Amino acid sequence: MEKNEQNQLGRREFMQKAAVGGLSMSALFLNDNVAKDVEYVTQKVGRYSSPSELKITDMKIAWYSSTPIIRIETNQGIMGYGEVRDGGDPIYALQFKARLLGENPCNIEKIFSRFKHSVPHGRQAGGLCGIEIALWDIVSKAYGVPIYQMLGGKYRDKIELYADTPQQRTGEAMGQKMKLRMDHGYKWIKMDFGINMLRDVPGALVGTHRWNLNGFYNFKDAYAWTPHQLTRIQITPKGIDKLIEYVAGVRNTVGYDVQLLSDHFGSFDINTAIQLAKAAEPYRLGWMEDFIPWMYTDQWKKITDAVEVPTCTGEDIFGKHGFKDLIEKNAVDVVHPDMMSSGGIMETKKIGDYAEEYGIAMGMHCAGTPFSLLASVHCAAATRGFMALEHHGVDLEYWEDLVTGIKPIEVDGGVMVPDKPGLGVEPNEEVIKQHLNRNAEGKLWMSTDEWNTRITGMDRPWS
């Protein structure tokens, strides 16, 4: 009998004996030939990794444009991707590297809990958030299931997006710009109509003589560092009429079949916020966002209780603990975390679930790469109170080409929840390299070895 025929006969005998229970597992492994048979009949069984033996071995940074992309590497060749929030610095993530090396990436909650006490609110939180997302990417790949499945499953198959839209000179022109979004299937669109529109309108503003209204995003300017309501700037009835004329032009152009949202307004006091919101009530905005900084909970409640337009804040808050006061006091109608500031995937789901207990919905801010968008998609899929997710790369032609794995990402104003393990995408290194930050000095994955042993002062917050 030929050797190949003997092997085939052995496999048939093995299957027959196994089928009738005539071969114990202990007996199987006493015979090398039978062991080979076991390997043969189980060759199509998925073996993604040995999760209990995973170890973090390195962290690399690809500094794309204004967004550092994080790659966490493991001893089993599985890599996970995240990012530091747009405008952040790689150091926000690298400060954790020495304490991450050697850790099992599957222990996401343990790792996050160890570091979260040292993280401030705002964009500096983006380092830990990006690490958390990269860990989920690794663990999901290790177990061979999509991330949303590890969060308890999904409530929806498609995540609706909202598109921010560059400001136009008139409401009608803005409406026409937004209709181009609607032609692509968007049912949620967002605009700005802040006090910068009134700078050159005589008699529209009171109390601006102390402030440079161009300084809202200039963080060397006192205007940027003064909480909105403390400027005591007010909008006059003429100014409010001018802004509402703009809103009416937008709404009358786009109609009422879409949710119309508003972004930041600049700085003014809470009485002005109430007056402006009440004037906007007939146009049924989906929300009005960030009248004042998020931490002034009682003043937020005063605004929310006074108006019918839904109020919204939260893109700079870190952690569920940061949202608790706003939620428990029903100080806003919509919480609006950005996953790259709020704590990553699991922490953002906790925020959404907690808000739901108090009857508060969750929108999600996102102004990053496809990595942060897809991370947000998995979280949104698993969170019942979710409304809509921002897509800030709509007008960037190469944005979807930054990654491979899903093409197209945006379909008819939304994203279909991917069923692949991990985030569902991998970096397109060729495209990323074409858009590196000048500080990357032309290097794609920058060496970070100098951080391998550098322990920063992240001590526990108690003695």
**Which CATH number fits the domain that encloses residue 140?**
3.30.390.10
Residues 293 and 165 in one domain: yes
Q: Are 198 and 337 in the same domain?
A: yes
Q: Tell whether 251 is covered by a domain.
A: yes
Bridge partners (DSSP) of residue 215 are none
What's residue 31's pLDDT? 53
Q: What does the DSSP 8-state code read for residue 419?
A: -
Q: Which of 274, 261, 334, 335 is nearest to 308 (CA)?
A: 274
- Boundaries of domain holding 11: 3-41
Q: What span, in angstroms and rounded, lies between the C-alpha atoms of 186 and 188?
A: 6
- Residue 317's identity, in one-letter code, is I
Which of helix, strand or coil describes residue 192?
Answer: coil
Shared domain for 271 and 320, answered yes or no, is: yes
CB 441 within 8 A of CB 449: no
**Are 108 and 249 within one domain?**
no
Residues 6+ apart with CB under 8 A from 226: 211, 267
Q: Are the beta carbons of 132 and 108 closer than 8 angstroms?
A: yes
CB 362 within 8 A of CB 355: yes
Residues 6+ apart with CB under 8 A from 342: 125, 129, 314, 317, 318, 319, 322, 323, 348, 351
Provide the pairing of β-strand 205-206 with 234-235.
antiparallel
Same-domain pairing of 206 and 90: no
Q: Is residue 204 part of a domain?
A: yes
Domain match, 27 and 56 both? no
Q: Are residues 173 and 62 in the same domain?
A: no
pLDDT for residue 13: 52
Is there a single domain that holds both residue 314 and residue 383?
A: yes
The parts of the chain modelled with pLDDT lower than 70 are: 1-48, 457-460, 463
Rounded CA-CA distance 98/93 in Å is: 11
Residue 456 lies in a domain: no
In a domain, 265, yes or no: yes
CB atoms within 10 A of CB 255: 11
Whether residue 396 lies inside any domain: the answer is yes
Residues 6+ apart with CB under 8 A from 365: 314, 315, 336, 337, 338, 390
354 and 216 housed in the same domain: yes
The answer to whether residue 437 sits within a structural domain is: no
Residue 263 domain-assigned (yes or no): yes
Task: Identify whether residues 208 and 307 lie together within a single domain.
Answer: yes
Would you state the pLDDT for residue 48?
Answer: 56
Total count of domains within the chain = 3
pLDDT for 32: 57
Could you write out the DSSP letters of every residue in 200-264? TSTTSEES-TT--GGGTT-TTSHHHHS-GGGG--EE-HHHHHHHHHHHHHHHHHH-SSSEEEE--
Q: Degrees (nearest 5) of the Cα angle 93, 387, 195?
A: 75
Structure token digits, residue 166? 């560059």
Bridge partners of residue 74, in order along the sequence = 56
**Count of other CB atoms within 10 angstroms of residue 401:** 15
CA-atom Rg of the chain in angstroms = 26
Cβ(131)–Cβ(103) under 8 Å?
A: no
Q: In what order do the strands lie in the sheet with 79-83?
A: 56-64, 67-74, 79-83
Residue 252 is part of a domain; what is its CATH number? 3.20.20.120
* Run of H or E residues at 368: none
Q: Residue 27: its pLDDT value, please?
A: 44
Instruction: Assess whether 26 and 57 both reside in one domain.
Output: no
Is 355 a domain residue? yes
Give pLDDT, residue 166.
86
Q: Are 255 and 364 contained in the same domain?
A: yes
Residues 244 and 249: their CA atoms lie apart, in Å, by: 8
Q: What is the pTM of this model?
A: 0.88
Is residue 84 within 8 A of residue 115, CB to CB? The reply is no
DSSP one-letter code for 20:
T
Q: pLDDT tens across 238-249, in order?
A: 999 999 999 999
DSSP, collapsed to helix, strand or coil, labels residue 63 as: strand
